[in-house]
């Protein structure tokens, strides 16, 4: 099995395709198919981890009807299972896999198959990108062809990406609201404290989109510095707390680059980036490329535009920093 989801920094979602009346109780599937072979759509249950996010598609309702979370990793169990309803074979007890679920929430109105079909072009791009990169996608939908519209694939368990979820604002809303009350998530709008309705903003852009924005920003920074007659060396991020080393005559600059699709009023900087800048203020440069546009194409996200902001030297002021997380050292009791 090609476990491409572990290569993504972005969120991935497990997808259940079923007509079970006890929807949301668990994932439950035989270990092997009717031929005694392992079937990828069942084996996927072994990949699910605690707190992973889940989408539930109900065949009779023809749509994504609910969300939930994985409660704990798979366990051995048994199942009364018939390989095919068409053959009307009597169910027999078989070894099975079970993944318990928690925080089951219904979505009203549902994300109907008709709505999903309207996103066929975007879904086809997402699927093609997965297949071209990883060979196998384990995706629940087959894009339309000359003979049929977009349809659900045969199988039980699947996996989808953040990009897919972002296509449906109501689905994004369901996850944005989290797993608190109510148990049924309705509508596409929410209210502020002043009871003024606001449209729900989309979830964070996917990692793939972020990566395209960041890479584009680095290229813009390289072009800017090259035009200033600097020689550029790209630094491995795991080893250095900055992106570029720029040298000219006796000058050496350490350049941190950030790319943003918004106006870039706030950016996340790591502890190591801050420490390095404070220690080497005169040699540190900060380049922000903001307002970058990133559009999804057949070859992935393509970035364009953007405005350049250069801080040289990058002399950080503590008043401009707001702690994002803390590291807590727990002392022995």
Residue pLDDT, tens place only, 168-227: 888 877 776 655 544 555 554 334 334 333 333 333 345 677 888 999 999 999 999 999
User: pLDDT tens, 73-108?
Assistant: 999 999 988 766 555 677 888 999 999 999 999 988
Bigger pLDDT: 178 vs 255: 255
CB 69 within 8 A of CB 111: no
Whether residue 250 is found in the same domain as residue 150? no
User: Is residue 19 very low, low, confident or very high in pLDDT (cuts 50, 70, 90)?
Assistant: very high
Over range 127-143, report the average pLDDT.
Answer: 89
Q: Please check whether residues 187 and 220 belong to one and the same domain.
A: no
* 40 and 115 part of one domain: yes
Compute how many other C-beta atoms are within 10 angstroms of the C-beta atom of residue 176: 15
Whole domain around residue 106: which residue ranges?
Answer: 4-199
Q: What is the pLDDT of residue 188?
A: 41
pLDDT band at 32 (very low <50, low <70, confident <90, very high): confident
Give the span between the Cα atoms of 190 and 169, in whole angstroms. 13
Buried b (16+ CB within 10 A) or exposed e, 148-161: eebebeebbbbbbb
Whether 144 and 258 map to the same domain: the answer is: no
- Cβ count within 10 A of residue 315: 12
pTM value?
0.58
Q: What confidence category does residue 329 fall into, taking pLDDT thresholds of 50, 70 and 90?
A: confident
Residue of 255 and 187 predicted with greater confidence? 255
Residues 143-151 have a mean pLDDT of: 90
Give the pLDDT confidence score for residue 77 in this predicted structure: 92
Nearest alpha carbon to residue 242 among 291, 280, 289: 280
**Of 199, 227, 253, which residue constitutes the final position of a domain?**
199
**What phi-psi label fits residue 222: left (phi over 0), alpha (psi between -120 and 50 degrees) or beta?**
alpha
b/e 259-291 (16+ beta carbons within 10 angstroms → b): bbbeebeeeebeeebeebbeebeebbbbbbbbe
- In terms of phi and psi (left: phi > 0; alpha: psi -120 to 50; beta: otherwise), the region of 51 is left
**pLDDT the model gives residue 192:** 39
Q: How far is CA 234 from the centre of its chain?
A: 27
CATH number of the domain to which 152 belongs: 3.10.590
Please state the domain count of the chain: 2
220 and 164 in a single domain? The answer is: no
pLDDT at 326: 72
Instruction: Show which of 153, 172, 199 is a domain's final residue.
Output: 199
pLDDT score recorded for residue 295? 79
Query: How many other CB atoms sit within 10 Å of the CB of residue 214?
Result: 18
Query: Is the same domain home to 13 and 157?
Result: yes
Instruction: Please check the confidence at residue 325 and state whether its pLDDT lies above 50.
Output: yes
With 0-12 / 13-18 / 19 or more C-beta atoms within 10 angstroms meaning exposed / middle / buried, residue 143 is: buried
CATH of the domain at 216: 3.40.1350
Residue 71 pLDDT greater than 70, yes or no: yes
32-56 average pLDDT score: 90
Instruction: Give the mean pLDDT of 222-238.
Output: 91
pLDDT at residue 302 greater than cutoff 50: yes
234 and 89 share one domain: no
Q: How far apart are CA 162 and CA 231, in angstroms?
A: 38
54 and 106 in a common domain: yes
Structure-model confidence comparison of residues 274 and 178, the more confident one: 274
pLDDT at 251: 94
3-state secondary structure of 257: strand
């Amino acid at each position: 099995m090609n476990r491409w989801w572990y290569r993504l920094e972005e969120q991935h979602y497990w997808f259940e395709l079923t007509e079970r009346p006890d929807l949301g109780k668990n994932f439950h599937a035989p270990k092997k198919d009717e031929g005694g072979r392992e079937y990828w759509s069942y084996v996927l249950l072994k990949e699910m981890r605690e707190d992973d996010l889940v989408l539930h598609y109900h065949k009779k309702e023809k749509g994504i009807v609910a969300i939930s979370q994985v409660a704990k990793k798979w366990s051995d169990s048994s199942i009364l299972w018939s390989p095919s309803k068409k053959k009307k074979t009597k169910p027999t007890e078989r070894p099975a896999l079970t993944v318990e679920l928690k925080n089951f929430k219904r979505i009203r109105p549902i994300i109907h198959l008709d709505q999903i079909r309207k996103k066929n072009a975007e879904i086809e791009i997402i699927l093609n990108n997965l297949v071209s990169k990883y060979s196998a996608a384990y995706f629940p939908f087959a894009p339309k062809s000359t003979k049929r519209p977009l349809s659900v694939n045969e199988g039980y368990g699947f996996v989808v990406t953040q990009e897919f979820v972002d296509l449906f604002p109501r689905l994004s809303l369901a996850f944005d609201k989290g797993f608190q009350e109510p148990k049924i998530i309705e509508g596409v709008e929410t209210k502020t404290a002043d009871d003024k309705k606001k449209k729900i903003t989309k979830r964070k852009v996917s990692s793939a989109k972020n990566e395209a924005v960041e890479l584009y920003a680095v290229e813009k920074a390289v072009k800017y510095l090259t035009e200033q007659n600097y020689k550029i060396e790209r630094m491995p991020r795991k080893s250095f707390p900055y992106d570029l080393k720029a040298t000219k005559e006796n000058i050496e600059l350490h350049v941190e680059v950030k790319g943003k699709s918004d106006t870039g009023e706030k950016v996340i900087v790591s502890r190591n980036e801050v420490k390095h800048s404070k220690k080497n203020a005169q040699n540190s440069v900060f380049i922000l490329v903001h307002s970058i546009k990133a559009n999804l194409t057949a070859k992935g996200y393509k970035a364009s535009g953007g405005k350049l902001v250069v801080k040289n030297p990058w002399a950080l002021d503590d008043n401009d920093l707001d702690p994002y997380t803390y590291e807590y050292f727990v002392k022995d009791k």
